[in-house]
Chains A and B, each alone.
Chain A
């Protein structure tokens, strides 16, 4: 779809933008909705701590296979027989925000907590837009990278699967780091001396 040649750089930029812009909008809206929960004292830090601890342990120690992820995928009828730019826009809108499609990393659902935690509503909105844009851009770059790996390489899918397992460890480590930090933050909010 994105063959090299004239205008290749521009096509790549537009492809990344198709993921980034919807993701920023969706995560901005998410921050706007989630900020109401921030008004309840201690609710978000405690929920975020419990979530990060449980799923961090789960991803690193692999004691259960529970995933908070939807199995939905973009139906082929949505993209079949459509021009390439429309296909890209559909993929970008569905996959860029990363909330409705299958996600192997539990870290994604810690992000709504981190966006609003201890922030004023306007700041939470800005952080939501930034986090969404970063997620969308990273997703688009990941897709492009995986595609270039797959070109002419029969073992590419296995390599990607192996990489995913490595990243799952990393995600687990990040969640546990966050759990430790959120424990300290909760104690701090309760007036404890650290």
Chain B
């Protein structure tokens, strides 16, 4: 029940490539539209929420 099924290596590799390409293409589009700074703000907020909420409870 608590085992997280590890992702297979081919899936991880394809996810790696997809994420890099998606990031590159999205940034190119955003830079063309002049919205790159706003997008990095939204991304930073999402990342801050992810790394904050995901930590184990200490207190």
Residues of A within 8 A of B (CB): 56-57, 60-61, 73-74, 79, 87, 91, 95, 98, 101, 103-105, 107-108, 110-111, 114-115, 117-119, 127, 130-132, 134-139, 141-143, 145-147, 150, 155, 158-171, 173-174, 176-185, 188, 194
Q: What 8 A-B pairs come out closest when comparing CB atoms?
A: A180-B23, A138-B52, A146-B57, A181-B27, A176-B19, A184-B27, A167-B54, A194-B28
**Are B16 and A178 in contact (CB-based, < 8 A)?**
no
Q: Are A170 and B40 in contact (CB under 8 A)?
A: no
Chain B positions 25-58 with a Cβ under 8 Å from a chain A Cβ: 25-28, 30-32, 36-37, 40-41, 43-58
Contact A158 B2 (CB under 8 A): yes
Q: A185 touching B47 by the CB < 8 A rule?
A: no
* B-side contacts of A95, CB under 8 Å: 55, 58-59
Q: A135-B52, A138-B48 are in contact. Are A143 and B57 (CB under 8 A)?
A: yes
Give B36 Cβ to nearest chain A Cβ, in Å. 7
What's the interface size class on B, roughly?
35 or more
CB proximity of B41 to chain A, nearest CB, Å: 6
Known: A134-B45, A141-B53. 18 other contacts (CB 8 A): A56-B16, A57-B16, A103-B51, A114-B40, A117-B37, A130-B45, A138-B50, A139-B52, A160-B57, A168-B54, A170-B54, A176-B16, A177-B23, A180-B24, A181-B24, A181-B27, A184-B24, A184-B25
B15 and A101 form a contact (CB under 8 A) = no
Q: Is the CB of A162 within 8 A of B16?
A: no
Q: A143-B59, A166-B4, A176-B23 are in contact. Are A184 and B50 (CB under 8 A)?
A: no
Kindly identify which residue among A56, A166, A181 contacts B26, using a CB–CB cutoff of 8 Å.
A181
**A110 & B47 in contact (Cβ 8 Å cutoff):** yes
CB contacts (< 8 Å) of B52 on chain A: these are: 98, 134-139, 142
